[in-house]
Amino acid sequence: MRIICGLILASAVAATASAATTLYEATPEELSAPARSEAVVTNFPTTWPQKPDRLWVELWCADSGEDPVKIIVRGKGRNGKKGGKGRNGKKDGAFSRLVDLPEKGRCAVSLATRWIKGGVDFNAVTNVTVRTVDGEPRRFGVARLLLLDVGEAPPAFDEAPRPHVRDAAAHHECYLKFRESCRSGGFVVGQATSMENIRPRAAFTWRDAEEVCVRLARGERESVQLLVAPAEHDLKDVRVAVEMDGGFAATNVAACVVGYVETRDPAPYKVRIGSKIVETPRGWWPDPILDFQKSCDIAGEDVQSFWVRVTCPTNQAAGTYVGRLVVSASNAEPVAVRLKVRVNDFSVGNVSPLPLAVSCIYPKANVNSMGGDSALAKWLNTNPDSYLKAWKTREEKYCDFLADYYLTPDSPYVNPTHEPRWDMLVRLKKQGRLGLFNLCYWWYMGLGEKGEAFWRKRDLPVLRERYEKAKALGIEKHAYLYGCDEQRPNVFTNMAVTIAALRREFPDVPLLTTANDVHLGTGSSPLKDVNHCPLTCWMGRPVRKAQAEGRQVWWYICCDPPAPEVNAMMEGPPVELRLLMGAMTQRVKPDGFLYWETMAWNSKNPITKGPFTDWNPNSFGNFRGDGQWICCGGPDLLPLATLRLENFRDGLEDLWYCRILEEKIREVQSSELRVGEKKTGGTGLADSERRRSWLDRALKALAVPKEVVKSPRSFSTKPDVIYRWRDGIAELIEEICHE
């Protein structure tokens, strides 16, 4: 209640702010303009308000469809003067943003002035242009341009509906086929793997649900999606219950509602859908898994996914267990689907098999991702009643949630004002689930005695204090130091001096950087005594040389690299993250993985109900998914996994399979068994020919077939291909264990 009241209060304060400054308002003649490919607004006031917060651009359209346009704000370059140069040495500057035209009505977008000012002198704007992306004429134009101050509420207007018409026809065709092949009484029931996006109102794929099969190891989690749609009439209070015949507790299987978020504007990136790289479709997308919601209504031709997550206890006996997934509704007879769970005869570890430096603490709203509303962003970031601050009173639950996904409460960007979460790190150490954590972000010093003296006075005491605290807590072996994020070669000399000083002060603490060193410390590069972390698309020839010289080479993704490279965009296939952390890591062999953020929360409110939510999926500008693998919601404001976070963990579990097989290979290769003999306590292989055959097949599986992964830009997204490789490794492990 406190959070809801706080948001109401913030809205009330905004509503009492001063009236907006009108820059332009269309005349009736302009609102009936003929089709055109470009609309331009000029003749702005000479003097603008000094500190406007947002530029409100309201568009009208008399046509149907979801056609993207680009809004361009042009003017003199930042700090540009007549005869002089602005930002980047240009006299003219521009800022642009992609949006969709409305469906026979109006829509609006807020542009944060702080971002416009990055390239344009805001008191010297010459025009605002709206242009169709495809160059085709439309009946559209600018209805209003307003400047909003900090805390000022946007104007009320009737926004055009968002029918996502391009999805409707494709979805209807898929639904008819789905109903024909998978109808059972009042339900239509199918299944999909955990690696797929099943959109509720767009084209989708499915498999029949005569039998749902899950295979996993002890200590592992594996999931499947059960797809439910109405066969005749709307369904009320639909839920999935679990029954097991014995040997495997039904409480180890949980079924909950998959939530959907709506994307409204074009994204500045393309995604992989099937075998094609396409412009990112808008509409409803599956993302948050609503653990707090077990049932929902399903109307019309909507296809609702239920996330069925199987958790295998560490003491579970190997074997095959049978049960049922029972789909029920208050207005339809229940339908049972056979469930088969196969438990492998080995266990995965409870910590990541790959070193990780993943940011998953201190969630913070980004103004540009919230339509430029700096007042709301400030309230969310600072007010203790904000859902962004819920973790402060729920630290243990947040900590345990993260550890369930192989994550440690950490951030590469922990700085002198944000200490590591010492209590939570100690908690995970006691549980045996502690990964790596950053002591403090480091920055390069100035050159010369004065530069080093300043660094030793300002930065070094913080680093020493944190290192000593880590030692006192017995967790110093889990510490690392990250810094100089994506810096360019012009500061490499400064970095090299700082790295040498850090090595002298903290010889046992790994140093990590994403500085843009294409040589990765090899050859003439001065950055030789640091572990490099390039983008996945940089993993070329210098990697092996750098590793041979004793440096680790990690890798990372962010808003780059774009498709067809692997990434974690929400609209891309979730399997990309599973491949990145599993098969792709096994093939390319980076020494670790870094990621900048998993809790970029820019929604006005947490998720309180579903399946269709009002959660804002924008993580950075119009990027969606990059930086947001976790959502927040439910009555207790706890973290909620997304499909991508589930695939992140599944990929690391796939990597555990590889690590276990590697250990078995070492055991076989080091054994001294002879043909016809068995060695007590050894592998148990008696026949050298059989042993060589097993080794050949095991080494081939660990090399990762090219049909699974060829490179970070060439890989299969077909679940069957990935399962076949993963299950083949499981068979090899069990074969050697049972000999």
Q: Give percent above pLDDT 90 in the chain.
A: 76
Q: Are 263 and 271 in contact (CB under 8 A)?
A: no
Q: What integer pLDDT is reported at residue 181 of this predicted model?
A: 97
The SS3 call for residue 617 is: coil
Mean pLDDT of the chain, nearest integer = 91
Taking residue 321's Cβ as centre, other Cβ atoms within 10 Å add up to: 21
| Structure confidence at residue 373 as a pLDDT band (50, 70, 90) | confident
- Residue 274 backbone zone (phi > 0: left; psi -120 to 50: alpha; other: beta): left
Provide mean pLDDT across the span 217-238.
98
Domains contained in the chain, CATH given: 2-161 (2.60.120), 166-347 (2.60.40.10), 372-656 (3.20.20)
Asked if residue 658 lies in contact with residue 414, where contact means CB atoms within 8 angstroms, the answer is no
pLDDT for 371 equals 77
Q: Is the pLDDT reported for residue 37 higher than 50?
A: yes
Q: Mean of the pLDDT values across residues 357-386?
A: 90
Kindly tell me if the per-residue pLDDT of 9 is higher than 70. no
Nearest one of 329, 139, 322 to 237, comparing CA atoms: 329
Query: What is the band of 738 on the pLDDT scale with cuts at 50, 70, 90?
Result: confident
Q: Which residue has the higher pLDDT, 414 or 44?
A: 414
Q: Is the pLDDT of residue 528 over 70?
A: yes
Amino acid at 277: I
Mean pLDDT of 244-262: 97
- Per-residue pLDDT band for 575 (boundaries 50, 70, 90) equals very high
546 contacts 618 by C-beta, under 8 angstroms: no
Write down the pLDDT at residue 370: 83
The pLDDT, as a whole number, for residue 296 is 98
Question: Does residue 5 register a pLDDT over 70?
Answer: no
291 φ/ψ angles, rounded to the nearest 5 degrees: -60, -25
**Contacts of residue 713, Cβ cutoff 8 Å, sequence gap at least 6:** 537, 561, 564, 565, 566
Which SS3 state, helix, strand or coil, does residue 495 take?
helix
Secondary element (H or E) of residue 398? helix 395-404
> Using CB atoms within 10 A of its CB, is residue 42 exposed (0-12), middle (13-18) or buried (19+)?
exposed
- Residue-wise pLDDT for 60-95, tens only, equals 999 987 788 999 999 887 654 443 344 444 567 888
As a whole number of angstroms, the distance between CA 221 and CA 215 comes to 9
Q: Rounded to the nearest 5°, which phi and psi values hold at 488? A: -95, 170
Give the pLDDT score at 446. 95
pTM for the whole thing? 0.91
pLDDT at 686: 54
What is the distance between the alpha carbons of residues 89 and 78, in angstroms, rounded to a whole number? Answer: 10
The strands making up 555-557's β-sheet, listed across from edge to edge, are 356-358, 593-595, 555-557
What is the per-residue pLDDT across 295-347, written as a single tens digit (0 to 9) for each?
A: 999 999 999 999 999 999 999 999 999 999 999 999 999 999 999 999 999 99
Binning pLDDT at 50, 70 and 90, where does residue 388 land? very high
User: Beta 531-532 vs 511-513: how paired, if at all?
Assistant: parallel
What is the average pLDDT across 124-132? 91
Q: What's the distance, Cα to Cα, between the start and end of the chain in Å?
A: 61
DSSP 689-702: HHHHHHHHHHHHHH
pLDDT, greater one: 77 or 619: 619
Local structure of 286: helix, strand or coil? strand
Report pLDDT for 83: 35
How would residue 168 be classed by pLDDT, with cut points 50, 70 and 90?
Answer: confident
Quote the CA–CA distance of 440 and 660 in Å, as a whole number: 33
Q: Are 232 and 298 in contact (CB under 8 A)?
A: no
CA quadruple 312, 316, 318, 320: dihedral sign: negative
The pLDDT assigned to 670 comes to: 85
The residues near 116 (Cβ < 8 Å, ≥ 6 apart) are 55, 73, 95, 122
What is the spatial distance between Cα 635 and Cα 607, in angstroms, rounded to a whole number?
9
What local confidence, expressed as pLDDT, does residue 675 receive? 42
Please give the structure tokens belonging to residue 506.
């903290």
Q: How confident is the model at residue 274 (pLDDT cuts 50, 70, 90)?
A: confident
CA distance 466 to 487: 25
Statement: residue 533 has pLDDT above 80: yes
Mean pLDDT of 583-600: 97
Average pLDDT over every residue of 285-291:
98
pLDDT, residue 442, reads 97
Q: Token pair for residue 377?
A: 């962003």
Burial class of residue 95 in the structure, from the number of CB atoms within 10 Å of its CB (0-12 exposed, 13-18 middle, 19+ buried): buried
Structure confidence at residue 248 (pLDDT): 98
pLDDT at 91: 65
Q: Among 11-15, 399-403, 443-447, 518-522, name the one with the lowest average pLDDT.
A: 11-15
